[in-house]
Structure formats: structure tokens, C-alpha cells
Amino acid sequence: MKRWLASLFIGGYLSALGVGLVSHTMEWGTGRHPAMYYIVWDMFCGWTSWDVRLEVIGEGVSGKYYSLAPGPWGGINTHGRLDRRDYDVGGLACCRIALNTLKHTSHEEIARIFVVERAWNKKYNIPDHLWEERFEEPRDPHYYHKIYHVISGEGVLLSSQPNWLTHYTSVAQNADPRLQSQMRTRQPFYLLDMAAANNSGQELSSQP
């Protein structure tokens, strides 16, 4: 009986992994049900070695700068220690957070609002005792700042740039002669007809 149950468990386990592998390979049903999270093989492939936080800064007409998030009443930490603005991947909800802070505070006229990314290597997040065991170098994190969005004092988007990771991924690709050669000689598997989709008002269509 035990042997039969063990064989049944192993067979079911391998079958579930096989379904996940086929689903991932064929891009079929990967998000059909929350349970697919446990068997699809690409759960962590999108993780990066960089940590990013968003800073929301207002520039007054006098040239003085103000921190607009979190507001004077404190932040909203819905999932652990991170503020809600740090979950805004596109950085666009930060505009509403900034305008809400301005609405409920006294201040000079605000000329522009900046959404700034602050990035650093995740290895600096480990506790001090683990750092001392793992690295011989002193703990000296380097922070990189990049302007993500520029917004007017009325909430109108003035300019927008790719996020930090996308920007430097593009820089690395353009600096690699091998990748440049492959980009010139290879044909993409899918071609997104952006112009046709925008003109027709329909969803993007992919053509092999």
C-alpha cells in the first residue's frame, strides 16, 4: 500500500511539473488559475539584483525643493516596510500622491514635481554580520539616481524617461558589438503592428 501511494505521489508530482513545463513553453494558460504559480517554471526569472525606491520631490517657484511623499501624516505601508509609492512600477500614481500632499498642506506655488528613482545593489540589504562573513570589502553602498517623470504643479505630465533598469539594459545592449550584429541580422519572432493598432483603436495584433 505504501509503495502504491509513493508511486502515485511521484507520478502526480512529475505530471504537474510536466504540465507547468508545457504551459510555460507553449505560453498557454500560465495565468489561468492562481495554482499555476506553483508549477510554471518562470516564477523568479524577472527578479533583478537591484533594489529601487521612488522619491517624489516638488520644486517651488523660489527654487526650494520639498519632499512630497510620504506626506506629513506618514506613509502607508500595506506590505511590510515599503511605502505604497514603491509598489508603483510605472511611477505614475506618484503624481496623485504628490497632489494629495499639496492639497492638504500650506506651501509656496509648486512649479514642477519630480519622480526620481534611487537604485542600489541588493547585496547591501543583508545584515551587517552576514556582510562581514561574506565580503572582505567595507560596506559602502553606492546609490544611483535617475529622473523618471517630470510633472507640472497642476499634475500634467511634462516628460517621461524609461526606468533605471530599462535604460541601462538598453545602454548595455547598444555597447555590445555582438548583440548589435545579431539585432541587424536576425528577425524577431513576433512583430507588433503598433501603428495599425493605434489607428484602428483595437488591441495590438502579433504577426509571426
In a domain, 178, yes or no: no
Average pLDDT over residues 104-129: 92
In a domain, 66, yes or no: yes
Model pLDDT, residue 205: 36
Q: Are 81 and 147 within one domain?
A: yes
SS3 45: coil
Q: Are 59 and 120 within one domain?
A: yes
Instruction: Locate 13 and state its grid cell.
Output: 508530482
Band of pLDDT at residue 193, cut at 50, 70 and 90: low
Contact 66, 107 (CB under 8 A): yes
Strands 157-160 and 191-192: unpaired
In a domain, 182, yes or no: no
Last residue of a domain, one of 151, 168, 185: 168
Q: Are 67 and 14 within one domain?
A: no
In a domain, 199, yes or no: no
Please check the confidence at residue 18 and state whether its pLDDT lies above 70: yes
How far apart, in whole angstroms, are the C-alpha atoms of residue 70 and residue 153? Answer: 17
Q: For the chain, what is the domain count?
A: 2
CA nearest 123: which of 108, 106, 110, 140?
Answer: 140
Burial of residue 165, with CB atoms counted within 10 A of its CB: 0-12 exposed, 13-18 middle, 19 or more buried: middle
Contact 120, 142 (CB under 8 A): yes
Domain that holds residue 164: 50-168
Q: Are 31 and 54 within one domain?
A: no
SS3 21: helix
How far apart, in whole angstroms, are the C-alpha atoms of residue 158 and residue 70? Answer: 22
Q: Are 152 and 58 within one domain?
A: yes
Q: Are 103 and 62 within one domain?
A: yes
Average pLDDT over residues 31-55: 74
Tally of residues, the chain = 208
Q: Are 155 and 54 within one domain?
A: yes
Model pLDDT, residue 41: 64
Q: Are 54 and 32 within one domain?
A: no
Instruction: Locate 154 and state its grid cell.
Output: 497642476
CA nearest 117: which of 78, 149, 93?
Answer: 149
